[in-house]
Each structure stands twice: as C-alpha cells, then as structure tokens.
C-alpha cells in the first residue's frame, strides 16, 4: 500500500506537499516514520493515504521504519500545521518538521524507545498554597470568564493589576477539570519568574518549559511529556504553540502585543494568531493578556469579535506612576554644559537612593556609542558588509556590527587619515551607566542588556540582585522594561525616547507607547511606595500627543487615535499585508526579480507596490529589496498568494543570480 508522508524538503525544491511511499502496514496518519529521501534517510510524518493514481513511471520507495512507540500526532495538530503552512506560504513538510523538537528528527526507533523509557512517573497534585482573596475586579473578571461564550478573550489589565493571578485561577480550573494548560510568553528572560509562580501555585503538578534556551535533550523530554499527556502545564515562547497536548483545556498568551510572537525567518508565523486559531479548532478558551494590546486585537474587541475584560486598577490600591515630562529645550544650549540627566530628574533619583528605593533608566540601545567618528576627516565606523554603523563597545574595546556580527578591535587612530582623536557619537547603555556612575558617586549601578547577559545564568543573577535590593539604579534596554515585578522601584525614566516619534515604520508609535507603558509599570508596584512613583520622559517634543496619552495612562484614547489614522490611510488592521523579500549580491538582481513578480497581474482589490529597499538594505554583503502587497480582504490576499507563490518558484529559475526570496504574511516591520 501507499502512504503520503510529509518530509522536510527545502522550499526551493518546490516539494511542498507530502511524498508517496510504499508501506507494509496502514500506519495511521500522524505516525513518525524514517524514509529515504535522495541519498539520506530522514524523519517524516504519515499524512494520510496517497493519491488514487500512482504517477506512471515513478518507482516508489518503501518506508524504512515506523517510530510507532510514539502515539501519532493528533488530527488537531496536523490541521494546525496544514493551516499554518497554507496561510504563511511554506511547504507543509518543511513546517511540520521544523516545529518538532530537533532531537526528535534525528532518532530512530531504538533511540526513541530508550528516550521513552527514561520518562518520569506521572505527577501527583499536592494541595495548593493558601490563596489570597481576589480583588473585586479580578473576581468579576474570573466570574465572567467562566460564563463567556466560546471565543477569544482580550484581557486588558493595567500593569500590576493582577493579570497573572487571573491566569493562575483560570489554569487551576482547567487543571481541576483534568485538562492541560498552555501558556505562551514573549521572551525567555520572562519565563523563569512566571515559571516559578506557576510551580509554586501548583505543587506536584508537572510543568514543562519549551524555549530555545533548553538543551536538545531537555526540549525533547518536555515535548514528549506534553504530547503523552503527562505534563499538566506547558510554558514557553512562540515555538510552543505547536506543542501537541491531548488534554488541552486552556491557552494563555501573556503580553499578547509583543513582537517576539512573530517568527522572523523560515515560516514567519504569528504564535499569537495561531493560538487563536488553535483555540477555535480545539474548542478551548484562549486568553490574550496585555496592558497595551496590539491594535489588531484591540480592533477585534471593538468589533465584538473578541470579548474584552478589563482590570483598570492596580492590586492593593497602588497608583500608576505620575508622568513627569522634562522639556530638554530648557537645558542650556551650550553642549558642554548639558548632562545626561536633567537636574530635576537627577535630584529625584538621589532622593530615592536616600530613601532606599530603586530607579530604572531605560535606553533602548546597547553598546557604548552607536558610532565612532573622526572629527578631522569625517570617517565613521561603518560596517564594510552592511549599510549600518558598527557600534562601539567599550568594555572589550570592539566595534561590532549588530546586523552581521562583524567585530574588530577599535582602531587606535582614524583608519582614513591617522588622526588620533576619534570619538564616540551618541550614547548606548554602556556609556549611560558610566555617566550615571560619575553623576551619582557611591550609588550602586547595574546594567542589564543583551551584552551583560550573554553568559548562561547571568540574567538570573543580575535580576536577583535587583530584587534583593543590592542595586540603586538599574540601566537597561527593553529587556528589563516588561513583566518584572520589581517591588522597590519607584522611578522609571526614558532618557531619550524621541527617536520612535519620527520613525518610518507605521507601527513605531504603537511599539513605543507599549514600551513606555510597560516601563512605567515597573514603578510603584508596591502600594506602600506607590504614592511617590514617577515616570520621567526627557524629550525635545514635550507636547507630542503620544506623551500626552501616556500622561493619563489612557491606552484606549491612544488606540483610538492610532486606529483612526490607520483607517484613513488603509493600514492594518484595516488592510492585510504581505511582503515579498528578495536577496542578491547586487540590488539590481533583487529588483529585477521583484519587478517581474509584480508584473503578474493582480486582481482588483489588491495592490502590488513598487520594489523598495528595507531600512537596512545591505546585510553581510547581501542586498535586500522588498515588495509590498496590500488588500482590504484577507481571503482575497490569501487566494492571490496561493496562486502567486508557485509562479515565484518558476520565476526564480529565470533569475539565476537571485540568492533567496521569501514571503512574509502579516509582516510586523516594513
């Protein structure tokens, strides 16, 4: 008999669909098998019976081995994979295998049997710790959750309003009903704290994590525990949306607005959107939680397609921090007299240090300075491989490209003219920490960003020091702005946030507002000190509407203005986008491919724009171009992409010097 098997065939082969193999048994769909592919033996997934008529003249090869010790991947899982492959325009086999633990794709039947033998015994739930009573708002929201009709719930709760407590209560109900719970979180640096809260609440229950920081063996063990129904809770980053869970009873997406839910290479799926799809397919509730929901989700709630639950108050009567906007135009014009902190902000921080409270300085740019500059000849530290500057890192005296990674020692003199006096321009977190140390002698200053946390365990120990009160002033990037429950923090300052006000990306204001709201949310979480909590903004544009909305903590008003703007110019969520990206050694090659692609006649209701370079056009010696497709109808865009993408495979053959192309459906950045 013949069976269709999904195998990982690279996209350029055009072999997206499952391939036919001979089988001696009717392995059920979802069974993992080892099959020959070219000269290799690879792992595949039985997708169903093969087509009715075998291709004439094609000799089918037999399935080498079935890994049938593993229960087949369920129909719900296969449906989600098939949907995602179709929606995001990738090969079915490619996506199906890419979302399995890498280790599972390597093992044969014997090795798998050994892994399965190493499983831990099932969990025995112990009594939960005594619970604090819910606030009236939380209680009302929980009550509503239980009585809602099926469909996504958008939980809009201000920072510190106790959203996590609601997730825990909803999870408890699902667990008590014998179901499994899936919790998606944006970044792995937020998982430890949340994991600890879940573990503490559900002693004896088996909780497994799924993220890229695990060893391959751990990831497989955790995945197996979920798939076999032994794990009660799965907590993970975007990739865990694909974890098969036979008893799934609830999905939670925490910080649903976070861009990291969108995969940025390969199959560019949105884990948040797939979580909503999965909840519908599996008929389980999904809670999307955020203090600053994505405008997509917000608009769906406005239209009544999502149910909105609101937590408007902080737990324990804590107030949201008061916004202090400092107009930088008031500082002396003479540059030599300007300091990094406006004097009143510095005084506010000093007052907090004296009271034993903490301050957070947010600067979303790591390194010492974004560029080195020679005053004599104008040389700047460009990257030879990218259209970007190389960032000066003072700690190890390197120039590093944050796009391609190219790193060199800082030159002693200007490479062009020999001038010895080359100077850093602008400021990153490293320099900010250094300047703060000079301004606040004796203060204990810590810096947390992607550089300071490179080593395993570094982030945990740095955060622990903050929680333990061993730090007076924390300097950090967006990494520390969200999710953390810092109890002693009463001041947050954005040192120089103006950049995003004038960025070309239409989502920049939304991102910036979310980041500042999240950052503000780190201050005053302990009601005892909340009265003095402040959020400072140093800006040259003090009357900008974005800062005005921030001052009143009015997300709804901000969302309404943004949505009006988007509606009037036809941007998402009022239109649907796809980007076709192309890469080549020369821009003209990528451009020619995109021009041919755009020439395929688009139906009415769909617009193909002219090819343009992205903001950073050249990365690692490769030129990139992109073409935007826009439609007011999602089905129309989907239909067109399904017809267009196969033509692009053919078109590629005519553009031999094109390196790569890919389609990004619902792109986050343009």
Ligand X SMILES: Nc1ncnc2c1ncn2[C@@H]1O[C@H](COP(=O)(O)OP(=O)(O)OP(=O)(O)O)[C@@H](O)[C@H]1O
Residues 170-209: x/- map of binding to ligand X (CB under 6 A)?
----------------------------------------
Per-residue three-class SS string for 558-605: HHHHHHHHHHHHCCCCCCEEEEEEEEECCHHHHHHHHHHHHHCCCCCC
162 binds ligand X, rule: CB under 6 A: yes
Among the listed residues 20, 137, 165, 472, the single contact to ligand X using CB under 6 A = 165
**Whole-number minimum distance, CB 193 to ligand X, in Å?**
9
Helices (H) and strands (E) in the chain, counts: 18, 28
**Whole-number minimum distance, CB 401 to Zn ion, in Å?**
3
Partner interacting with residue 404 (select from ligand X, Zn ion, none; CB below 5-8 Å by kind): Zn ion
Nearest residue (CB) to ligand X, 157 versus 321: 157
414 annotated among ligand-binding-site residues: yes
Instruction: Return the beta strands (E) in 23-123 as ranges.
Output: 32-37, 40-49, 65-66
Cα angle, residue 444 at apex, residues 442 and 450 outer, rounded to 5°: 140
**Tally of CA atoms within 13 A in the half-sphere of 84 that contains its CB:** 32
Distance CA 22, CA 537 (A): 66
**Whole-number minimum distance, CB 350 to Zn ion, in Å?**
40
Site for ligand X in 115-154 (CB under 6 A): 132, 134-135, 138
105 binds Zn ion, rule: CB under 5 A: no
Please measure the distance between the N-terminal and C-terminal CA atoms of the chain and give it in whole angstroms: 48
**Whole-number minimum distance, CB 215 to ligand X, in Å?**
28
401 annotated among ligand-binding-site residues: yes
Among the listed residues 209, 287, 291, 471, the single contact to ligand X using CB under 6 A = 291
Q: Which of 220, 241, 215, 238 is nearest to 105 (CA)?
A: 220
553 binds ligand X, rule: CB under 6 A: no
Residue 349 CB coordination number (10 Å): 25
Among the listed residues 43, 164, 307, 452, the single contact to ligand X using CB under 6 A = 164
- Strands 153-157, 391-393: pairing kind: unpaired
Q: Which of 95, 69, 35 is nearest to 241 (CA)?
A: 95
514 close to 476: Cβ distance less than 8 angstroms: no
**Whole-number minimum distance, CB 104 to ligand X, in Å?**
33
Partner interacting with residue 162 (select from ligand X, Zn ion, none; CB below 5-8 Å by kind): ligand X
Distance CA 428, CA 424 (A): 10
| Cα→Cα distances 374→135, 166, 336, 414, Å | 59, 55, 19, 6
Nearest residue (CB) to ligand X, 295 versus 489: 489
608 annotated among ligand-binding-site residues: no
Residues 312-341: x/- map of binding to ligand X (CB under 6 A)?
---xx-------------------------
Partner interacting with residue 240 (select from Zn ion, ligand X, none; CB below 5-8 Å by kind): none
Among the listed residues 521, 572, 611, 667, the single contact to ligand X using CB under 6 A = 521
The span of 60-68, 76-84, 157-165, 452-460 binding ligand X (CB under 6 A) equals 157-165
503 close to 497: Cβ distance less than 8 angstroms: no
403 binds Zn ion, rule: CB under 5 A: yes
478 binds ligand X, rule: CB under 6 A: no
**Whole-number minimum distance, CB 161 to ligand X, in Å?**
4
Q: Which of 597, 665, 659, 666 is nearest to 624 (CA)?
A: 659
Q: Which of 71, 11, 67 is nearest to 43 (CA)?
A: 67
288 binds ligand X, rule: CB under 6 A: no
The span of 162-170, 408-416, 551-559, 602-610 binding ligand X (CB under 6 A) equals 162-170
Starting at the edge strand found earlier in the chain, the sheet holding 407-409 runs 391-393, 398-400, 407-409
Partner interacting with residue 403 (select from ligand X, Zn ion, none; CB below 5-8 Å by kind): Zn ion
Largest Cα span, the chain: 84
Distance CA 252, CA 278 (A): 12
Among the listed residues 16, 152, 157, 236, the single contact to ligand X using CB under 6 A = 157
Tell me phi and psi for residue 256, to 5 degrees: -60, -20
Distance CA 329, CA 327 (A): 5
Q: How many residues bind Zn ion (CB under 5 A)?
A: 7
Nearest residue (CB) to Zn ion, 377 versus 616: 616
Nearest residue (CB) to Zn ion, 179 versus 403: 403
Residues 481-520: x/- map of binding to ligand X (CB under 6 A)?
--x-x-----------------------------------
**Whole-number minimum distance, CB 141 to ligand X, in Å?**
11
Q: Which residues contact 173 (CB under 8 A, 6 or more apart)?
A: 146, 250
Site for Zn ion in 368-387 (CB under 5 A): 383, 385-386
Distance CA 254, CA 261 (A): 10
**Whole-number minimum distance, CB 185 to ligand X, in Å?**
11
Q: Which residues bind ligand X (CB under 6 A)?
A: 132, 134-135, 138, 157, 159-165, 291, 315-316, 483, 485, 521
Which residues define the annotated binding site for Zn(2+)?
Answer: 374, 377, 383, 386, 401, 404, 414, 417
Which residues define the annotated binding site?
Answer: 374, 377, 383, 386, 401, 404, 414, 417
Q: Which residues bind Zn ion (CB under 5 A)?
A: 383, 385-386, 401, 403-404, 406
């Amino acid at each position: 008999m013949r069976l269709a098997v999904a195998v990982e065939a690279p996209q350029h082969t055009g072999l997206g669909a499952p391939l036919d193999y001979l089988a001696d048994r009717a392995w059920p769909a979802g069974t993992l098998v080892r099959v020959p592919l070219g000269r290799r033996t690879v792992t595949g997934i039985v997708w169903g019976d093969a087509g009715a008529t075998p291709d004439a003249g094609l000799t089918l090869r037999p399935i080498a081995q079935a890994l049938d010790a593993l229960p087949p991947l369920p129909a719900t899982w296969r449906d989600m994979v098939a949907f995602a492959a179709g929606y995001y325009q990738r090969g079915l086999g490619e996506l199906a295998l890419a979302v399995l633990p890498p280790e599972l794709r390597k093992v044969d039947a014997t090795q798998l049997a050994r892994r399965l033998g190493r499983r831990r015994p099932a969990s025995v739930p112990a009594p939960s710790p005594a619970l604090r009573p819910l606030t009236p708002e939380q209680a009302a929201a929980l009550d509503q959750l239980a009585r809602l009709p099926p469909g996504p719930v958008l939980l809009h709760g201000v920072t510190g309003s106790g959203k996590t407590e609601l997730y825990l209560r909803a999870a408890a109900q699902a667990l008590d009903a014998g179901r499994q719970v899936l919790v998606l979180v944006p970044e792995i640096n937020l998982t430890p704290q949340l994991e600890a809260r879940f573990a503490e609440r559900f002693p004896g229950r088996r909780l497994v994590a799924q993220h890229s920081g695990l060893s391959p063996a751990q990831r497989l063990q955790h995945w197996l525990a979920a798939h076999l129904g032994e794990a009660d809770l799965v907590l993970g980053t975007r990739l865990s949306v694909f974890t098969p869970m036979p008893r799934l009873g609830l999905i939670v997406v925490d910080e649903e607005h976070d861009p990291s839910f969108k995969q940025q290479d390969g199959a560019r799926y949105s884990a948040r959107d797939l979580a909503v799809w999965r909840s519908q397919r599996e008929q389980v509730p999904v809670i999307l939680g955020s203090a600053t929901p994505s405008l997509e989700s917000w608009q769906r709630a406005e239209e009544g397609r999502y149910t909105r639950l609101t937590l408007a108050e902080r737990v324990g009567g804590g107030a949201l921090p008061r916004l202090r906007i400092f107009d930088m135009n008031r500082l002396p014009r003479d540059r030599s007299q300007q300091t990094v902190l406006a004097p009143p902000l510095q005084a506010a921080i000093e007052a907090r240090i004296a009271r034993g409270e903490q301050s957070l300085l947010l600067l979303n740019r790591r390194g010492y300075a974004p560029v080195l500059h020679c005053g004599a000849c104008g040389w700047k530290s460009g990257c030879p491989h990218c259209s970007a500057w190389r960032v000066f890192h003072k700690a190890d005296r390197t120039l590093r490209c944050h796009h391609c990674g190219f790193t060199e020692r800082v030159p002693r003199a200007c490479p062009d003219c020999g001038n010895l006096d080359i100077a850093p321009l602008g400021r990153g977190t490293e320099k900010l920490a250094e300047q703060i140390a000079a301004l606040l002698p004796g203060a204990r200053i810590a810096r947390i960003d992607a550089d300071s946390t490179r080593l395993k365990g570094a982030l945990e120990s740095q955060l622990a020091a903050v929680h333990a009160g061993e730090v007076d002033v924390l300097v950090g990037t967006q990494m520390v702005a969200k999710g953390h429950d810092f109890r002693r923090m009463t001041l947050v300052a954005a040192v120089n946030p103006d950049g995003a006000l004038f960025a070309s990306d239409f989502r920049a204001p939304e991102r910036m507002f979310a980041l500042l709201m999240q950052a503000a949310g780190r201050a005053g979480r302990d009601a005892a000190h909340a009265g003095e909590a402040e959020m400072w903004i140093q800006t040259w544009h003090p009357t900008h509407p974005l800062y005005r909305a921030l001052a009143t903590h009015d997300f709804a008003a901000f969302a309404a203005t943004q949505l009006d703007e988007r509606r009037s110019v036809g941007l998402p969520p009022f239109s649907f986008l796809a980007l076709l990206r192309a890469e080549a050694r020369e821009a003209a090659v990528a451009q020619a491919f995109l021009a041919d692609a755009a020439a395929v006649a688009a139906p009415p209701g769909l617009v193909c724009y002219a090819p343009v370079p992205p903001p950073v056009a050249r990365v690692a010696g490769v030129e990139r171009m992109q073409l935007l497709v826009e439609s007011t109808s999602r089905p129309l865009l989907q239909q067109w992409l399904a017809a267009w993408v196969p033509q692009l495979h053919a078109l590629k053959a005519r553009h031999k010097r094109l390196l790569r192309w890919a389609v990004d459906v619902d792109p986050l950045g343009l």
